[in-house]
């Protein structure tokens, strides 16, 4: 089973991208900064972490995965926003060709049965929100 996760513990929503900027059948790569503490509030002096994400607009669904291959943790893409196989049915890692289904499960390549980490999202006021 793919893992679902949240990058922070506060439950605070983080805007990822305007829905108008996503096209069905395509992927986008984005990076966000988040705070690794219990309340998710960014105070001066607190450590922030960069989180590299893959957004995959699959028909009506939009899935968000951590951009870290379960094989050895490399980011999947070689070129910006290019995460899909030629037929656009699967995500593929450019390093060793691990191929992932709609749920982020590796179905071919060096890590069968392992999954990308998936994050919970929701749509709000025209935005895709993480959290």
Residue ranges in contact with ligand FES by CB under 6 A: 69, 71-72, 74, 93, 95-96, 98, 109-110
Q: How far is the CB of 48 from ligand FES (least distance, A)?
A: 26
Q: Return the residue matching tokens 């691990």.
A: 98
The distance of closest approach from Cβ of residue 131 to ligand FES in the complex, given in angstroms and rounded to an integer, is 27
11 backbone dihedrals φ, ψ, rounded to 5°: 80, 0
Q: Are 83 and 76 in contact (CB under 8 A)?
A: yes
In terms of CB distance, is 59 or 79 closer to ligand FES? 79
Query: Shortest gap between Cβ of 56 and ligand FES (angstroms)?
Result: 16
Distance CA 30, CA 121 (A): 14
In angstroms, the CA 81 to CA 33 distance is 19
Handedness of CA 108, 103, 58, 72 (dihedral sign): negative
C-beta closer to ligand FES: residue 12 or 114: 114
Q: Is the CB of 15 or the CB of 110 nearer to ligand FES?
A: 110
Measured from the CB atom, is 17 or 93 closer to ligand FES?
A: 93
């Amino acid at each position: 089973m793919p893992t679902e996760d949240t990058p922070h513990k506060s439950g605070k929503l983080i805007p990822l991208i305007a829905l108008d900027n996503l096209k069905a059948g395509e992927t986008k790569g984005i990076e966000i900064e988040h705070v690794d503490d219990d309340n998710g509030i960014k105070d001066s002096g607190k450590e922030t972490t960069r989180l590299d994400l893959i957004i995959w607009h699959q028909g009506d669904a939009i899935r968000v995965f951590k951009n870290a291959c379960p094989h050895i943790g490399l980011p999947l893409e070689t070129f910006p926003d290019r995460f899909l196989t030629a037929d656009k049915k699967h995500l593929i890692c450019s390093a060793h060709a691990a191929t992932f289904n709609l749920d982020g499960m590796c179905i071919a390549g060096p890590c069968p049965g392992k999954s990308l980490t998936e994050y919970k999202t929701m749509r709000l006021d025209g935005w895709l929100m993480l959290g």
